[in-house]
Amino acid sequence: MIAFAYRSPKSHPRPYADVVLGMLVNEHATAEDIAHYLFKIATEHMALTDRGMAELCDRAAKAIVALRSDF
């Protein structure tokens, strides 16, 4: 049996998506900066395995940064 720790979004001072949006809009973060943040959240806060996670975070960050032109 696998148990997962779950915390309500209300227990976090700032939801992860809000942080990423702030990085994108206000801090002009690079894809590398966002990927690093996503990887840290996934592996340290959500306790997900790091197997393949770096690549997924890189892909997600590149897609997020590509949205910058829409703002």
Domain assignments of the chain as residue spans, ordered by start = 13-70
Q: What is the mean pLDDT of the chain?
A: 83
Q: What is the pTM of this model?
A: 0.74
Q: pLDDT tens across 32-62, in order?
A: 999 999 999 999 988 888 889 999 999 999 9
Longest Cα–Cα distance of the chain, Å, equals: 45
pLDDT at 8 over 90: no
What is the Cα–Cα distance from 67 to 37, expressed in whole angstroms? 17
Residue 37 near residue 23 (C-beta atoms within 8 A): yes
Which pair of tokens denotes residue 10?
A: 């209300």
